[in-house]
Amino acid sequence: MNTPTSIQTINGPDGKPAFVVIPYADYVAQHERDHNLIPHEVVRRTLADDVPPVRAWREYLGFTQAAIAKELGISQSAYAQQENSTRLRKSSREKIAAALGISAEQLDI
C-alpha cells in the first residue's frame, strides 16, 4: 500500500539515503517531546573546556551560583563545592537539576 507521506529522502552521490527532510511542524513537535536534549554549547563546555556539566548548564541557562544556591536553600560556597564535585550524590544531582529546570539525565555528559 502506498501511503502518502510528508517525509522526503534525499540520496547522496552513491545513491544511498543521505538526508531526510520533514515538515517544520513535525520537527517542532518531535523536539518538544524530547525533553532530554543537551544543547551543543553545554556539551562543548563540558568536553572541550573540561567544565563540570552542572556548571556548563548553569552558565548556559544564565544563572549565578548564588541564585541556584538560594533555590536549593544552601550557601553559595556550599553550592560551588557541589558544582565542582565529580561525585555528586543522586539526591543532590536531582535537586540541582530541578533548580536548573532540567532533568537529572541531562547532567550525564
61 part of a folded domain: yes
45 part of a folded domain: yes
Residue with cell 548553569: 58
Confidence of residue 34 (pLDDT cuts 50, 70, 90): confident
SS3 content of the chain, % helix, strand, coil (to 5): 55, 10, 40
10 part of a folded domain: no
The torsion defined by the Cα of 106, 65, 46 and 86, in degrees rounded to 10, comes to -80
Q: Classify residue 107 by burial, with Cβ atoms within 10 Å: 0-12, 13-18, 19+.
A: buried
Tally the domains of the chain.
1
Mean pLDDT of the chain: 91
50-83 tens-digit pLDDT: 999 999 999 999 999 999 999 999 999 999 999 9
Confidence of residue 1 (pLDDT cuts 50, 70, 90): very low
pLDDT of 4 reads 56
pLDDT of 3 reads 53
Of residues 27, 8, 29, the one with CA closest to residue 19: 8
Q: Which domain holds residue 66?
A: 40-107
Q: Which amino acid is at 51?
A: V
Say which CATH number the domain at 95 has: 1.10.260.40
Check residue 50 and give left, alpha or beta (phi > 0: left; psi -120 to 50: alpha).
left
14 part of a folded domain: no
Confidence of residue 109 (pLDDT cuts 50, 70, 90): confident
**Pick the residue with more confidence: 108 or 27?**
108
